[in-house]
Structure 1
Amino acid sequence: MWVLLGGLAILATIINIYLFSRGKDFRFAMAAGLSFTALTLCAEISLVAIWIAREDWSAASELVNYQWALWFATFASIILNMLPLFMGSKGKVSSRHS
C-alpha cells in the first residue's frame, strides 16, 4: 500500500510543479501531494506495526537501515510541493479574493 501511495504522492507533486509552471491553479495538486505523502508514512508505520505484532524483529529492524530515506522523501515532498508558494504564484492564480 505504501508503494501505491508513494507513487501517487510523486505523481501529484509532478502535476503540482507542472501546473505552477503553466500559471494554472496548483493548490489542489499541492494538497494532494502533501496528503499522499502523509498517507504513505501512515501506511509505512502500519506495516512496521504488523511486523512488531507478529514479532518479526528482523523485518522491523530493516526499517532502521532505510529510515533516512523516509525522512529525505518527506522533506523533499514538503519542499517541492510548497515551492510554488515560496516562489509566488504566476499568472491567473495570484488572487482569488474578489
Structure 2
Amino acid sequence: MWIIFGILTLIMTLLNLYMYNAGKNYHIFMVLSLFLMALTLCDQYQMIASWSLAGDWSAIADVAPTLSMILWIFVIGSFVVNVIPLLLSYRKNR
C-alpha cells in the first residue's frame, strides 16, 4: 500500500508544480500531496510494527536502517518541493 501512497504523492506534487506554472489554484494538490506523504509514513510504520509483533527481527534489521534514510529524503524532498510554489507566490505578491 505504501507504494501506491508514494506514487500518488509524487503525482500530486507534480500536479502542484504544473498548476502553479499554469497560474491556476494549486493549493489542493499541495495539501493532497502532504496528506498522502503522511499516509505513506503511517503505512511504513505499520509495516515495521507488524514485523515487530510477528518477531521477524531479521526483516526489521534488513529494512529499517535503509528505509529510515529513504523516508527522511522523501519527506524533506516532498515538503520542499510542495512549499516552493507558496514561497514564490508570496515573493511575487509582496
TM-score with structure 1 length normalisation?
0.88
Write out per-residue CA displacement over residues 9-54 of structure 1, whole angstroms, 9 at most, x where no aligned residue.
0000000000000000000000000000000000000000000000
Give the superposition deviation at 1:66: 2.9
Give the superposition deviation at 1:65: 2.4
Percentage of matched positions with identical amino acids: 31
2 CA distance for matches of 1:32 and 1:71?
Answer: 19
Aligned to 1:77: 78
Higher RCO (CA-CA < 8 Å; seq separation 6+): 1
Aligned to 2:89: 88
Structure 2 spans left out of the alignment, 5+ residues: none
Aligned to 1:10: 10
**Going by fraction, where is helix more abundant, 1 or 2?**
2
> Superposition RMSD on alpha carbons, in Å?
1.1
TM-score with structure 2 length normalisation?
0.91
Aligned to 2:49: 49
Give the superposition deviation at 1:68: 0.8
Q: Secondary structure at the match of 1:24?
A: coil
Give the superposition deviation at 1:67: 1.2
